[in-house]
């Protein structure tokens, strides 16, 4: 069994939890990071998951995000809303240490989510068994077993998921059908946390309602329904700023997690997703 870990998110959690605020003198405050505590918390979680699945540390793939991403070329506004928001103290230092591990992965152009999607859909790894460890709802685009470690914040849509509890963690088994439907749902809703607008005026509730009725066995029909939704929004809001099919394709490329075969580990080139055709 391989554990494909969202190290970005786990590292953010443990370094946030170990920041210490203190008063140096009256009205003078500062923060410092307890890096050994953060490091211990990171590896404690990893050890626990290894024990849960009967694997070793050599079976863990630690996935990190590089600074440059192909999505910023698709849309320069991608994650622009995060500028000026610093990472927790100690994040960069501990990340540099963890990247020295043999199981650490960071590649140009792509993010941790993409590495997770690529590894989780590799046929060779699937034969061994793969479990995704993350708290990011975006990874519900990928079928398979998920350790949901973002406790206290459940994924927004559990429909179609088999949910169990193990050693204090929520385990979600995501079906292929649910993963496909959720991907279409995100094509419509976008992702406000990443600055991806999605279909104008639709929102998450409307996107979920439309995606629920898509005929998954007919990918072209699914995509045509997505484009029609964008066209209807364009007419309703009298928007002249975009070509609906092109804008829908751009939004899909922004939200969609990469799969096996869509990234070249040598040239660092991404094969952009294209809509299905008849």
- Report the pLDDT value the prediction gives residue 264, as an integer from 0 to 100: 96
- Report the pLDDT value the prediction gives residue 241, as an integer from 0 to 100: 57
Total domains in the fold of the chain:
2
Q: Residue 65 is part of which domain span? A: 2-22+31-175
Could you tell me if 169 and 185 lie in one domain? no
- Report the pLDDT value the prediction gives residue 238, as an integer from 0 to 100: 64
Tens-digit pLDDT profile for residues 117-149: 999 999 999 999 999 999 898 999 999 999 987
Q: Is residue 265 part of a domain?
A: no
Could you tell me if 195 and 248 lie in one domain? yes
Q: Are strands 161-166 and 169-174 parallel, antiparallel or unpaired?
A: antiparallel
- Report the pLDDT value the prediction gives residue 33, as an integer from 0 to 100: 80
Cβ atoms within 10 Å, residue 111? 23
Could you tell me if 145 and 212 lie in one domain? no
- Report the pLDDT value the prediction gives residue 161, as an integer from 0 to 100: 67
Q: What is the helix (H) or strand (E) element at residue 178, kind and residue range? A: helix 176-189
Could you tell me if 191 and 75 lie in one domain? no
Could you tell me if 38 and 67 lie in one domain? yes
What radius of gyration, in Å, describes the C-alpha atoms of the chain?
20
- Report the pLDDT value the prediction gives residue 160, as an integer from 0 to 100: 56
Task: Give every residue of the chain whose pLDDT is below 50, as ranges.
Answer: 156-157
Question: In whole angstroms, how far apart are CA 158 and each of 79, 93, 137, 176, 265?
Answer: 26, 36, 10, 14, 33
- Report the pLDDT value the prediction gives residue 103, as an integer from 0 to 100: 95
Three-state secondary structure call for residue 261: coil
């Amino acid at each position: 069994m391989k554990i494909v870990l969202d190290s970005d998110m786990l590292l953010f959690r443990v370094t946030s939890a170990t920041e210490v605020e203190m008063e140096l003198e009256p009205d003078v405050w500062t923060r410092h990071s307890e890096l050994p505590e953060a490091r211990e918390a990171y590896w404690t979680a990893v050890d626990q998951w290894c024990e849960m699945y009967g694997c070793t540390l050599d079976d863990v793939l630690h996935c990190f995000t590089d600074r440059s991403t192909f999505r910023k070329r698709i849309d320069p506004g991608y994650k622009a809303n995060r500028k000026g928001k610093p990472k927790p103290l100690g994040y960069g230092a501990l990340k540099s240490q963890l990247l020295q591990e043999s199981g650490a992965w960071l590649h140009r152009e792509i993010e941790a989510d993409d590495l997770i999607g690529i590894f989780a859909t590799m046929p060779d790894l699937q034969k061994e068994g793969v479990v995704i460890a993350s708290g990011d709802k975006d990874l519900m685009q990928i079928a398979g077993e998920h350790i949901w470690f973002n406790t206290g914040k459940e994924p927004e849509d559990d429909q179609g998921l088999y949910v169990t509890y193990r050693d204090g963690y929520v385990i979600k088994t995501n079906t292929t059908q649910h993963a496909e439907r959720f991907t279409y749902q995100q094509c419509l809703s976008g992702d406000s946390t990443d600055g991806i607008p999605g279909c104008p005026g639709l929102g998450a509730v409307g996107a979920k309602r439309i995606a629920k009725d898509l005929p998954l066995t007919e990918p072209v029909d699914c995509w045509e329904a997505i484009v029609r939704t964008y066209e209807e929004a364009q007419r309703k809001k009298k928007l002249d700023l975009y070509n609906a099919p092109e804008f829908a394709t751009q939004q899909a490329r922004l939200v969609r997690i990469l799969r096996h075969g869509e990234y070249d580990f040598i040239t660092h080139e991404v094969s952009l997703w294209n809509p299905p055709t008849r």
